[in-house]
Amino acid sequence: MQDTTTSAVHVSLGQAFWQLLRRDLLLTLRRGNEWINPLVFFVIVVSLFPLGIGPGAKTLQLIGPGVVWVSALLATLLALDGLFRSDYQDGALELILLSPHPLSVLVLAKVLAHWLITGLPLVLLSPLLGVLLHQDSSVMWVLMATLALGTATLSLIGSIGAALTVGVRRGGVLLSLLVLPLYVPVLIFGSNAVASAGMGLAVKGQLSLLGGMLFLALALAPVATAASLRVSVE
């Protein structure tokens, strides 16, 4: 028993990161509703707009970027509540907090797992939904690039709210109120970049801003999330 504890303590930071990432990916894949529900929600919301507004190509082409981005934002938000809650309920979160490794790095592993399960499928699926909304083929790479940058930023920002509400029963509404105002800049620049690409305008500025937001969130969000988890659990 002592040998097992000693070996666990001497696991390197890199090993701890990848072990936690692998664990979260496997657990989420086994609980299919945690990754299928946001994806199905994303597809359904985007698909309903042509039915509700009509099949007019010009109208759908105009509102398409906003529709895809709002749907992706809500789908990401839908999966946020479970980011730390299952670990909190089964006691695994306390073991993570007691780990000798920096909590911010372990938090980053969990956020990365969340993005790989929820954000990446949205990015890969977006071109098909872009065709449904009559988006030009030249716009697709911009749509995927903005969603890749944006959904990663949304996951990082959302992890702060998920950490603050992890001990709150039915904290989904509170979580939405906390993070939605912080999501607005990402939504604005992401949808604007896709719309600008559709009009043949340059999108380098919007992509640079989205990249800057991602790097800022990458630097600050894990630390803030780690502090929020300590407060919530204690």
Which residues lie closer than 8 Å to 57 by C-beta, 6 or more apart?
Answer: 134
User: Looking at the domain assignment, is residue 209 inside a domain?
Assistant: yes
Q: How many CB atoms lie within 10 A of CB 45?
A: 17
Q: What is the Cα gyration radius of the chain?
A: 19
Number of compact structural domains in the chain? 1
Q: Which two tokens stand for residue 75?
A: 């789908």
Q: Where are the beta strands (DSSP E) in 4-140?
A: none
DSSP, collapsed to helix, strand or coil, labels residue 233 as helix
User: Looking at the domain assignment, is residue 50 inside a domain?
Assistant: yes
User: Looking at the domain assignment, is residue 25 inside a domain?
Assistant: yes
**Tens of pLDDT, residue by residue, the chain (234 residues):** 334 334 444 678 888 899 999 998 988 888 767 678 888 999 999 988 888 877 677 888 888 888 999 999 999 888 888 888 888 888 888 888 888 889 999 999 999 999 999 899 999 999 998 888 888 888 899 999 999 999 999 999 999 999 988 877 766 778 888 899 999 999 999 999 998 988 888 899 999 999 999 999 999 999 999 999 988 877
**Smallest Cα–Cα separation from 225: which of 102, 131, 141, 69?**
102
Q: Which two tokens stand for residue 129?
A: 């939904």
User: Looking at the domain assignment, is residue 196 inside a domain?
Assistant: yes
User: Looking at the domain assignment, is residue 31 inside a domain?
Assistant: yes
User: Looking at the domain assignment, is residue 4 inside a domain?
Assistant: no
CB contact burial 157-183 (16+ within 10 A = b; e otherwise): bbbbbbbbbbbeeebbeebbebbeebb
User: Looking at the domain assignment, is residue 206 inside a domain?
Assistant: yes
- Cα–Cα dist 84/109, whole Å: 12
Question: Whole-model pTM?
Answer: 0.88
User: Looking at the domain assignment, is residue 1 inside a domain?
Assistant: no
Q: Between the CA of residue 18 and those of 107, 214, 217, what are the distances in Å?
A: 12, 21, 21
Structural domain of 44: 13-233
Q: Between the CA of residue 175 and those of 83, 122, 202, what are the distances in Å?
A: 12, 21, 35
Amino acid making up residue 106: L
